[in-house]
Amino acid sequence: MKIYKAAIIGLGPSGLAVNKILFGDSSNEIIAFEKEDINNRDNFFGFWLTDWMKPFENIIEKKWFKWTIGDRNKKITHSSFDKPYCVISFKRWKKYCLETKNILDVKNEPVIQYIPIENYFKIITADNNEYYAEKIYDSRSIKEKKGEMIQHFFGVNITVADNTFNENKLTLMHFTKEQNVLHFMYILPFSHNKALVESTVFSKQVYKNSWYRDKINEYLIQNNIIEFKERSTEKGIIPMFFAEEKYSPNPNIFNIGIRGGACKPSTGYAFSFLIKHIQLLKNSKKNYVSVHKFLERRMDKIFINFLKNNNENGQSFINLASNLDGNEFQSFMMGESNLLTKLKIIKSMPKLPFIKEFFK
């Protein structure tokens, strides 16, 4: 009976990060289970260049030192020269994380369950095979939950006429002020004629693809982009609630990625945090470490409850952006804001609804 050093359940960005960061320099034999064909996955992960992301600088696809937040009437431009906004593609992350010294055995089968036996686990897959490993790194997560907010989006990668986009400035949030729903456009201009144009909604339910496509088309027409070639699409759901699994009483079970609590629910940013989480686990003897600080989590919770119970149309985000400079804004988004920035954030928010949520 072969017992692997560890089993990774799910080869999304966090499962891949475990292979690279925790076992990449070893000669261990690791087994990974993935239910989908990850070669078909391609999307971009955005983040601001924090210190913990610097080791991955050479696989960054593009950096932007300026970004905008606004609507039809107002546009705030932020800049940060030390901590630009960056993207890494899933394909590149996958290639980087699979180039390791260790031996990785990948099984394209869903895991049904795993059971602790003495000092190892028996892992059972859907085709009824059994495998054994000393440790479990589990990244399966629930993306939707009744009554909870989710961030859902659909984007198209397009090619357009030369010099259409300003490739030095990205549109982080362009709010379109829909009725009863928070919607914004997210534009990543990779070059003067190539961009990812994405429609994003914060609500409790996912929409049909045609809904986001209509918003994308409206936005393109408003910006005089009539002719374009669609190269690919990306879509996703990110939970805007805290993961329940985070902590496992079994010291050899590690919950990772969104399941491990890496997502910052108020913004949907998870990629750089799930990497930070694995880096923290590498330096810890425990199977659980908290990526987000207590005060950040508390502020996130209040903000999400505010979004749930109020008809926010983006104005709070625009107010927030206008009260912060680029460095303050990115520090808030990356969970690194100081007390002064936190006070500025609280000051930017609508007072009464926030006080109500605080005391709930």
Ligand X SMILES: Cc1cc2nc3c(=O)[nH]c(=O)nc-3n(C[C@H](O)[C@H](O)[C@H](O)COP(=O)(O)OP(=O)(O)OC[C@H]3O[C@@H](n4cnc5c(N)ncnc54)[C@H](O)[C@@H]3O)c2cc1C
**Of 197, 168, 172, residue with least CA distance to 76:** 172
8 vs 349, which CB is nearer to ligand X? 8
Coil/strand/helix, residue 284:
coil
CA angle 197, 198, 204 (to 5 degrees): 170
- Sheet with strand 62-64: strands edge to edge: 44-48, 85-89, 62-64
Q: Which of 92, 134, 211, 236 forms a contact with ligand X (CB under 6 A)?
A: 236
CB-nearer residue toward ligand X: 131 or 354? 131
Q: Output 196 or 354, the one with its CB closest to ligand X.
A: 196
- Binding mask 91-120 toward ligand X (x if CB under 6 A, else -) reads -------------------xx---------
Q: Residues 130-153, buried b or exposed e (16+ Cβ, 10 A)?
A: ebbbebbbbbbbeeeeeeebbbbb
According to CB under 6 A, which one of 258, 291, 345, 349 is a site residue for ligand X? 258
Distance, CA of 239 to chain centre: 10
Give the nearest distance from C-beta 163 to ligand X in angstroms.
26
Q: Is the dihedral of CA 270, 59, 287, 123 positive or negative?
A: positive
- Give min distance, CB of 131 to ligand X, in A: 12
> Are the beta carbons of 307 and 265 closer than 8 angstroms?
no
Dist. CA 272–CA 226, nearest whole Å? 35
Nearer to ligand X, 75 or 143 (CB): 143
Q: Of 161-169, 242-250, 265-273, 277-285, which part binds ligand X (CB under 6 A)?
A: 265-273
Q: What are the structure tokens assigned to 136, written together?
A: 């479990």
- Rank residues 70 and 335 by Cβ distance to ligand X and give the closer one: 335
154, 241, 269, 303: residue in contact with ligand X (rule CB under 6 A): 269
Q: Is 6 in the site for ligand X (CB under 6 A)?
A: no
User: Any alpha helices (H) in the chain, and if so which ranges?
Assistant: 13-17, 90-98, 209-222, 271-282, 294-309, 315-323, 326-333, 339-348, 351-358
Interface with ligand X, residue 33, by CB under 6 A: yes
Binding positions for ligand X, 35-74, rule CB under 6 A: 35-36, 43-47
Is 271 a binding residue for ligand X by CB under 6 A? The answer is yes
Site residues (vs ligand X, CB under 6 A): 9-15, 33-36, 43-47, 110-111, 139-141, 234, 236, 238, 257-258, 269-272, 274
